[in-house]
Amino acid sequence: MWSDIDYMNNYRNFEIDMVNYNDLSDFVKDLNAKDQHWVPIIDAGIAQRERFTHGAQPYHPYLDGIDKNIFIKASSKDEHNYTPITGRSWPGDVVYPDFTHNLTLTYWSTWLNNLQ
């Protein structure tokens, strides 16, 4: 079964909307027991939300990517200046993982495995 981005919490990758899809984990287990699979749509853009906002938790996939320095960045003469390029997608402002970076595949796999 394919799921579009409506299963996401505020259209953020790797976060499930627990209000409307709180039983998704059980549903996926049931599919797997029937030798069927759940295939979630995952966008390339990572929401650029890092601070606590109105009591909400920070968006950890963004913070993790910043810590690992894996997002595509604007060119700079200063190699220590890390400014990711910001684009626009469903969650608003987003940054994009650089899949040529040696840490990006591990980052992506880790967050995919957390999506349960």
DSSP state of 100: T
User: What are the Cα distances from residue 33, in Å, to 36, 107, 114?
Assistant: 7, 29, 20
Domain ranges of the chain: 2-114
pTM above 0.85, yes or no: no
Question: Which residues 6+ apart lie within 8 Å of 106 measured at CB?
Answer: none
Read off the amino acid at residue 72: I
In a 3-state reduction of DSSP, which class is residue 48? Answer: coil
Q: One digit per residue, pLDDT tens: the chain, 116 residues?
A: 899 999 999 899 999 999 999 999 899 999 999 999 999 999 999 998 765 566 667 889 999 999 999 999 877 666 666 789 999 998 889 999 999 999 999 999 999 998 86
Angle, helix 104-114 to helix 60-68, in steps of 10 degrees: 160
